[in-house]
Structure 1
Amino acid sequence: MNPRDLLAQLVSIDSVNPDLVPGGNGEHEIAGFITTWFRAHDFDVHRLERRPGRPSLVAVRKGTGGGKSLMLNGHVDTVGLAGYDGDPLRPHVENGRMFGRGTFDMKGGIAAMMVAAARATERPLRGDVIVACVADEEHGSFGTEEVLEHFTADAAIVTEPSHLEVTLAHKGFVWFDVEVEGRAAHGSRPELGIDAITKAGQFLVALERLGQDLHEGPRHHLLGTGTVHASLISGGEEASTYPSACRITLERRTVPGESPQQTEDELRTILDHLTATVPDFKAELTRGLARDPFEADPEAEIVRTLIANLGEPPVIRAEPFWTDCALLDRAGIPCLLFGVDGAGAHAATEYVDLASLDRLTEVLTGTITDFCR
Structure 2
Amino acid sequence: MSRVIQWLAELVELPSVNPAFVPPGDRHAGEQRVAEYVEQRARAAGLETERQRVLGDRENVLVRLTPRGRVRHRLVWAPHMDTVTVSDERQLRPRRKGDRLHGRGACDTKGSLAAMLWVLTEAARRGRRPAGTEVILAALVDEEYGQAGSRRLARQGWRVDLAVVGEPTGLRVVTAHKGVLWLRLVLEGRAAHASTPWLGRSAVTALARAVTVLEGQYARALAQRVHPLVGRPTLSVGRIGGGRQPNIVPDEAWAEVDRRLVPGEKADAVLREVRSCLRRHGLRVRVECMQRADCPPLETDASHPWVRRFFDVVGQARAEGAHFFCDAAVLAAGGMPAVVHGPGDVAQAHTRDEWVSVAQVETACRQLAALLEGLP
Quick check: 1:77–1:135 contact (8 Å CA) kept in 2?
Answer: yes
Instruction: Name the counterpart of 2:134.
Output: 128
**What's the offset of the Cα at 1:102?**
1.4
Report how far residue 283 of structure 1 moved. 2.2
Instruction: Show the counterpart of 2:290.
Output: 288
| Residues 31-87 of structure 1 deviation map (CA, whole Å, 9 limit, x = unaligned) | 111111111122222212332232211112332214211000001111122157xx2
Give yes or no for contact 2:171–2:360 (8 Å, CA) kept in 1: yes
Report the more deviating stretch, 106-115 or 141-150. 141-150
Residues 250-302 of structure 1: per-residue CA shift (max 9 Å, x gap): 11111011111221121111232233xxxxx5321111224101112111122
Give, in whole Å, the separation in 2 of the partners of 1:349 and 1:140.
Answer: 24
1:17-28 mapped onto 2 (5 Å cutoff) = 17-22=18-23, 23=26, 24-28=28-32
- Whole-angstrom CA distance in 2 between matches of 1:109 and 1:66: 25
**1:337 matched to 2:340:** yes
Please say if residues 42 and 61 of structure 1, whose CA atoms lie closer than 8 Å, have aligned partners that are also in contact: no
Q: 1:119 to 1:304 in 2, by over 3 A?
A: farther
**Per the alignment, in what secondary structure is the counterpart of residue 131 of structure 1?**
strand
Provide the aligned length of Structure 1 versus Structure 2: 363
Structure 1 stretches of at least 4 aligned residues deviating more than 6 Å after TM superposition: none
Structure 1 regions of 5+ residues with no counterpart?
Answer: 276-280
Distance 1:191 1:262 in 2: 38
Q: CA shift at 1:120, angstroms? A: 3.5
- 1:312-342 CA distance string (max 9 Å, x none): 3447431111011101111111121111135
- Give the letter aligned to residue 51 of structure 1: L
Q: Say whether residues 1:177 and 2:180 are aligned partners.
A: no
In the alignment, what sits opposite 1:77?
82
Q: Percent identity?
A: 30
The corresponding residue for 2:51 is 47
1:36 aligns with 40
RMSD of equivalent CA atoms: 1.9
Q: TM-score scaled to structure 2, two decimals? A: 0.91
Where structure 2 has 5 or more consecutive residues not aligned to the other structure, the ranges are none
**Residue deviations 1:179-237, cap 9 Å, x none?**
1111112223445311111111221121112112211x131111111011211111111
| 1:99 counterpart residue number | 102
TM-score normalised to structure 1 length: 0.92
Q: Deviations over 1:139-162 (max 9, x none)?
A: 111111112223632211112111
1:269 is the counterpart of 2:276: yes
1:212 to 217, 220, 233: 220
Secondary structure of 2:268's aligned partner: helix
- Structure 1 segment 186-265 matched on structure 2, within 5 A: 186-208=193-215, 209-215=217-223, 217-265=224-272
Is residue 82–residue 143 contact of structure 2 (8 Å, CA) maintained in 1?
yes
- What corresponds to 2:15 in structure 1? 14
For 1:163 and 1:211, locate their aligned partners in 2 and report how far apart those are by CA, in whole Å: 30
